[in-house]
Amino acid sequence: MASYHGRTPLAGVLPRQAAQEWARTLLQPLDTAAKTSTDITRLAMNMPRSAVAKLLGLSRNTVNAHLKRTEASLGLDLTDVRCRAAVHLALVLSSSHTAPEPDYDQPPSTLDDLLRTERAAAWAAATLRPLSGSAPPHSPGMDRRQHRRTAGCLRPGHQPQHDPHHLRTAESVLGLDLLTAGTGIHDIVHMLRIANIRAV
């Protein structure tokens, strides 16, 4: 089941050729990995590992073993939410269109390069807008102080388990899944990264 909120995903606002070249570079080590490991990784970027195991009729240990192979191939720690967010974005980009031919005259873009664009900044601002100012129409009774605390739950270094109530409120306000291993968390990671890039 998926929720549709009428928003353009981050992959849709990034410069297409540069973004796909970045994704291809990040995921290139998976070209020699077992397809099963890649498929399981793709699922694990969208749902908890236990749900992947149940969906595929595998043990959780088997799912973890495949993810360990992916980690070894990519040189990334998929228990780090920032790494998961980057891999998820790369997988989305790699499956959305036929990859263009690389431009060997230009140095490859980094993820920070892609997120530094005005369109990425506008995407982040539009998604987070309900958490700024007064309470939005669909969160009655939520005052400015509550909005500030809810927004604070999304700051780097905050421990989400300390404020599950405010995270549930943020889920309702933003229309994002923030309490499970879903793509809403990845979106928030990218939004915070965009904010940090533009603050430098």
Are 92 and 120 contained in the same domain?
A: no
Per-residue pLDDT of the chain (200 residues; tens, 9 = 90+): 444 455 688 999 999 999 999 999 999 999 998 999 999 999 999 888 999 999 999 999 999 999 999 999 999 999 898 999 999 999 999 986 555 555 555 667 899 999 999 999 999 988 877 766 534 433 333 344 444 444 454 554 444 444 555 566 666 667 666 666 567 888 888 988 998 888 76
pLDDT of residue 147: 41
**Domain hosting residue 77, numbered range:** 10-96
Residue finishing a domain among 96, 120, 150? 96
pLDDT of residue 138: 39
State the total domains in the chain.
Answer: 2
The number of helix segments (H) and strand segments (E) in the chain equals 10, 0
pLDDT of residue 187: 87
- Helix/strand/coil (H/E/C) assignment for every residue in 93-157: HHHHCCCCCCCCCCCCCCHHHHHCCHHHHHHHHHHHHHHCCCCCCCCCCCCHHHHHHHHHCCCCC
Distant-in-sequence, close-in-space partners of 22: CB < 8 Å, separation ≥ 6: 90, 93, 108, 109, 110, 111, 113, 114
Burial class (CB in 10 A: 0-12, 13-18, 19+), 101: exposed
On whether the CB atoms of residues 128 and 191 are closer than 8 A, the answer is yes
Are 194 and 115 contained in the same domain?
A: yes
pTM, to two decimals:
0.75
pLDDT of residue 171: 66
pLDDT of residue 163: 53
pLDDT of residue 151: 47
In a domain, 116, yes or no: yes
